[in-house]
C-alpha cells in the first residue's frame, strides 16, 4: 500500500452499553489495562491512519476526553439520535467532506482489531476496491449480518439477520462490522442509504450495494473470528480480556521472555519486556511498565507505572507503584512496596519495607522493616539515601531527610535529622533492665487471676 495514501478513521463510540450494567460508557471499559476505545485508536495509528474522528453520545465528554488522551487532535462528533451505523458515521460528515483516500469505519467495542487487519482493509482500497468489508467465518452465525458473494467470490451484499432469507441465513461468512470506503466516493455513497428495512435504521452495510450499482468493486477481507469479537456485556468483556492476554503473552515469549506459567501472568497493552526476562507465576503487570533485559519478576508481584532495569530482581510478593525505577542489578524483595522512588544499581531493599518518594544510592542496603515516612497528612517529602549506606532493620526515616554516603543507621532508629557521610546514627530509647522483675510480675498476676476465678 502506498505510504502517500491519506486515511480518516471514524470510530463509533456512542453506545451506552446498557447490557454492561454500568454507569461507565461501554467504550471506557478496559481490556489489557486500557479502555477499549484506546485499544482501537492505538491500532488505527499503528496502521498509518493520520486523522481520527470519534462519534460519541450526547453529554459524553468523558469519552471524548479519553479519545484525546490517546490522540490529542482527534475530532469529536456527537450522534444526537441512534438511528443506525450509517447515521452514526454521517455525524462526522464535516470530516468526511474534507476528503481522504481511505475512509475507515471502526468500532470502540471491537477492541481486538489489529493494525495489520486495518492495513489489509486499506490495501484493498489501494488495489481498486470502492468498499472493503471485514469478514470472518463464524462457528455460530446467529445474529450476525451475512456476507453474500457471487460465483467469482466478489462481495455482492451484506444482509442483516432479520432481513435475510433462510438460504442467506445458512451462510457462515459473517460481517465483522469494520469497513473501508473509497474516500473520494464515501460521502456520496453514504448519503444514498435509507432506512427501509425491518429495524427502520440506516444500515452502513447498504453501502456495498450502492457501490456495486455504481460499477465499483467490493471486497471481503477475512480476519480471525477472535479479532472481531464485539463486547456488549461483562461476559464478552472477560472473553476479550482472555484473548488479549493470550496475544500479549505470546508476543512477550516470542520476544525472548520466559514465563513459567504464562496463563497466570497478566500484562497490559503497553507493557515492554526485554530479552531473557523471567516472569514467575501469578504476576500482574499494570499500565506503564518497562522491564529490561535479564530482569526477574518473582511470583505474586504487582507492577504498575514502573521501570525495572537490566538484571534487577523483584519479589516475590513485591509491589512496584507508579514512579518506581529500579536500576541495573537492584533488588526489591518480598513484601516490599516501592512508590515514586529511584533504586540505584546494586541497591537492595530485601524485606518488609515501604520506600516512597525516595532516592536510594548505589549498593545501599535497606534493612527489613524500614520505612520512609513521606507524608505528614498534607504534603509529601523526599528521602535521600547515599551510596553504600546501611539502614538497620525496623528503622523509620522521617522525610525530608538525607542519609549520607556510607552512613550507618542503627536498627530500630527513628531518624528525623540528616546523617553525615560515614557516620553512625542511633535514635532509639535507652534499654533498661530490672533483675528478677518477671518472677514477681508472674506471681502477682497469678494471684490476681485466682481471685477473679
Nine cell digits for residue 45:
495509528
How large is the average pLDDT for residues 231-242? 97
Domain boundary, last residue among 228, 248, 273: 228
CATH number of the domain residue 383 falls in? 2.160.10.10
Distance of alpha carbon 433 from alpha carbon 226, whole angstroms: 72
How large is the average pLDDT for residues 309-322? 98
Mark the binding-site residues, compressed into ranges: 12-15, 26, 79, 84-85, 109, 145, 160, 175, 232, 321, 339, 354, 365, 368, 374-375, 393, 411, 428
Distances (CA, A) of 184 to 12, 74, 262: 21, 21, 47
- Residues 209, 264 within the same domain: no
Q: Where residue 430 falls among pLDDT bands split at 50, 70, 90? A: confident
Distance of alpha carbon 386 from alpha carbon 390, whole angstroms: 9
For 85, list phi and psi in degrees, rounded to 5. Answer: -70, -40
Domain boundary, last residue among 168, 194, 228: 228
- Residues 151, 23 within the same domain: yes
- The candidate with the shortest Cα–Cα distance to 36, out of 366, 269, 281, 312, is 269
Mark the binding-site residues for Mg(2+), compressed into ranges: 109, 232
* Residue 300, number of CB atoms within 10 A of its CB: 18
Is 423 in a helix, a strand, or coil?
A: coil
28-39 confidence digits (pLDDT tens) = 999 999 999 999
- Residues 250, 193 within the same domain: no
Nine cell digits for residue 210:
450502492
- Please determine, for residue 2, whether its predicted confidence score (pLDDT) is greater than 60: no
- Residues 77, 171 within the same domain: yes
406 within some domain? yes
Distance of alpha carbon 451 from alpha carbon 190, whole angstroms: 94
pLDDT value of position 120: 97
The bridge status of strand 102-107 relative to strand 173-182 is antiparallel
Mark the binding-site residues for acetyl-CoA, compressed into ranges: 368, 374-375, 393, 411, 428
67-124 confidence digits (pLDDT tens) = 999 999 999 999 998 899 999 999 999 999 999 999 999 999 999 999 999 999 999 9
Active site residue: 29, 282, 298, 351, which one?
A: 351
- Residues 16, 99 within the same domain: yes
DSSP H or E stretch at residue 125: helix 115-126
Distances (CA, A) of 173 to 60, 208, 222, 227, 306: 35, 15, 9, 15, 44
Is 132 in a helix, a strand, or coil?
A: strand
Distance of alpha carbon 65 from alpha carbon 67, whole angstroms: 5
Q: How many domains does the chain have?
A: 2
Distance of alpha carbon 420 from alpha carbon 281, whole angstroms: 43
- Residues 125, 240 within the same domain: no
Torsional class of 404: left (φ above 0), alpha (ψ -120 to 50), beta (otherwise): beta
State the residue range of the domain holding 18. 7-228
**Active site (annotated) includes residue 298:** no
126 within some domain? yes
453 within some domain? no
441 within some domain? no
Locus of grid cell 507508579: 322
Distance of alpha carbon 27 from alpha carbon 16, whole angstroms: 8
| Torsion sign, CA atoms 108, 111, 115, 120 | negative
379-405 confidence digits (pLDDT tens) = 999 999 999 999 999 999 999 999 999
5-61 confidence digits (pLDDT tens) = 999 999 999 988 889 999 999 999 999 999 999 999 999 999 999 999 999 999 999
How large is the average pLDDT for residues 264-273? 98
- Residues 13, 62 within the same domain: yes
442 within some domain? no
344-366 confidence digits (pLDDT tens) = 999 999 999 999 999 999 999 99
- Residues 253, 324 within the same domain: yes
Q: In this predicted model, which residue has the larger pLDDT, 398 or 200?
A: 398
437 within some domain? no
Q: Residue 122, Cα to own-chain centre: how many angstroms?
A: 26
Sheet architecture: strand order including 348-351: 258-259, 278-279, 296-297, 313-314, 331-334, 348-351, 365-366, 390-391, 408-409, 424-425
- Residues 45, 99 within the same domain: yes
Q: Please list, residue by residue across 230-251, b when 16 or more beta carbons sit within 10 angstroms of its beta carbon and e when fewer do.
A: ebeeeeebebbbebbbebbbee
How large is the average pLDDT for residues 133-161? 91
Nine cell digits for residue 168:
442467506
434 within some domain? no
- Please determine, for residue 317, whether its predicted confidence score (pLDDT) is greater than 90: yes
Q: What percent of the chain has pLDDT over 90?
A: 91
Q: Where are the alpha helices (DSSP H) in 197-291?
A: 207-213, 234-254
pTM for the structure as a whole: 0.91
- Residues 108, 244 within the same domain: no
Helical packing angle, 36-46 and 61-70, nearest 10°: 40
- Residues 393, 270 within the same domain: yes
Locus of grid cell 470510530: 11
The mean pLDDT of the chain is: 95
DSSP H or E stretch at residue 371: strand 371-373
How large is the average pLDDT for residues 368-385? 96
- Residues 270, 199 within the same domain: no
- The candidate with the shortest Cα–Cα distance to 77, out of 98, 101, 47, 49, is 98
CATH number of the domain residue 88 falls in? 3.90.550.10
Amino acid at each position: 500500500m502506498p505510504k502517500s495514501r491519506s486515511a480518516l478513521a471514524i470510530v463509533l463510540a456512542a453506545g451506552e452499553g446498557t447490557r454492561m450494567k454500568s454507569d461507565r460508557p461501554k467504550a471506557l471499559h478496559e481490556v489489557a489495562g486500557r479502555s477499549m476505545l484506546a485499544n482501537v485508536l492505538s491500532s488505527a495509528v499503528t496502521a498509518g491512519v493520520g486523522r481520527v474522528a470519534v462519534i460519541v453520545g450526547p453529554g459524553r465528554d468523558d469519552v471524548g476526553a479519553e479519545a484525546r488522551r490517546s490522540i490529542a487532535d482527534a475530532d469529536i462528533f456527537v450522534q444526537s439520535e441512534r438511528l443506525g451505523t450509517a447515521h452514526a458515521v454521517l455525524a462526522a460528515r464535516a470530516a468526511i467532506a474534507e476528503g481522504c483516500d481511505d475512509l475507515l469505519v471502526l468500532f470502540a467495542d471491537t477492541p481486538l482489531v489489529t493494525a495489520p487487519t486495518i492495513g489489509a482493509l486499506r490495501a484493498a482500497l489501494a488495489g481498486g476496491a470502492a468498499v472493503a468489508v471485514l469478514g470472518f467465518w463464524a462457528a455460530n452465525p446467529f445474529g450476525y449480518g451475512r456476507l453474500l458473494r457471487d460465483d467469482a467470490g466478489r462481495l455482492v451484499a451484506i444482509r442483516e439477520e432479520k432481513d435475510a432469507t433462510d438460504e442467506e441465513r445458512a451462510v457462515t461468512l459473517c460481517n465483522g462490522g469494520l469497513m473501508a470506503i473509497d474516500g473520494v466516493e464515501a460521502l456520496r455513497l453514504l448519503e444514498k442509504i435509507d432506512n427501509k428495512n425491518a429495524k427502520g435504521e440506516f444500515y452502513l452495510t447498504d453501502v456495498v450495494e450502492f457501490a456495486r450499482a455504481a460499477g465499483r468493486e467490493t471486497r471481503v477481507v477475512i480476519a480471525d473470528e477472535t479479532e472481531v469479537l464485539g463486547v456488549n456485556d461483562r461476559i464478552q468483556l472477560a472473553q476479550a480480556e482472555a484473548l488479549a492476554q493470550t496475544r500479549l503473552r505470546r508476543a512477550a515469549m516470542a520476544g525472548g521472555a520466559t514465563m513459567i506459567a504464562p496463563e497466570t501472568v497478566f500484562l497490559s497493552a503497553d507493557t515492554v519486556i526485554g530479552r531473557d526476562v523471567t516472569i514467575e507465576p501469578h504476576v500482574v503487570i499494570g499500565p506503564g511498565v518497562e522491564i529490561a533485559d535479564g530482569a526477574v519478576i518473582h511470583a505474586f508481584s504487582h507492577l504498575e507505572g514502573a521501570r525495572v532495569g537490566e538484571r534487577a530482581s523483584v519479589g516475590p510478593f513485591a509491589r512496584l507503584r507508579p514512579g518506581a525505577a529500579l536500576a541495573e542489578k537492584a533488588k526489591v524483595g518480598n513484601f516490599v512496596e516501592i512508590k515514586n522512588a529511584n533504586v540505584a544499581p546494586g541497591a537492595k531493599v530485601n524485606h518488609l519495607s515501604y520506600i516512597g518518594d525516595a532516592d536510594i544510592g548505589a549498593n545501599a542496603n535497606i534493612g527489613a522493616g524500614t520505612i520512609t515516612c513521606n507524608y505528614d497528612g498534607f504534603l509529601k517529602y523526599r528521602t535521600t539515601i547515599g551510596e553504600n549506606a546501611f539502614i538497620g532493620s525496623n528503622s523509620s526515616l522521617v522525610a525530608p531527610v538525607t542519609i549520607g554516603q556510607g552512613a550507618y543507621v542503627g536498627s530500630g532508629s527513628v531518624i528525623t535529622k540528616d546523617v553525615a557521610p560515614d557516620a553512625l546514627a542511633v535514635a532509639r530509647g535507652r534499654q533498661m533492665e530490672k533483675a528478677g522483675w518477671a518472677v514477681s510480675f508472674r506471681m502477682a498476676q497469678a494471684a490476681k487471676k485466682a481471685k477473679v476465678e
